[in-house]
Amino acid sequence: MAIDKKTVEYIAHLARLDLEEKELEKLSGQLKEILDFIDQLKKIEIKDIPATSHILPINNVLRKDSPKPSLPINKTLENAPEVKDNFFVVPKVIE
């Protein structure tokens, strides 16, 4: 796919980039290479290849989910700067 300097200027304008002439030349070449590579990828037959989310066979190691006793209220509130009726007291943040 051909990318000319005018197209790169337009894209740079949309992205609010101020590019010099030398940068425009370089970017137009790089964008052409990227789009050519994408065209190559489009030609690959992938119909029989299963979808993957990761290149390596990774599995999560999960522990069994079992209930445990909670922390006692007095221990939970032990270091609280202020407590009222078994709750933390925090400053009001809504104006």
5-42 carries CATH number 1.10.760: no
Residues 46, 47, 52, CA angle at the centre, nearest 5°?
65
Q: How far apart are CA 73 and CA 69, in angstroms?
A: 12
Each domain of the chain, given as residue ranges in start order, spans 5-42
In the chain, the percentage of residues whose pLDDT exceeds 70 is 99
Average pLDDT over residues 20-30: 90
User: Tens digits of per-residue pLDDT, 81-93?
Assistant: 999 999 999 988 8
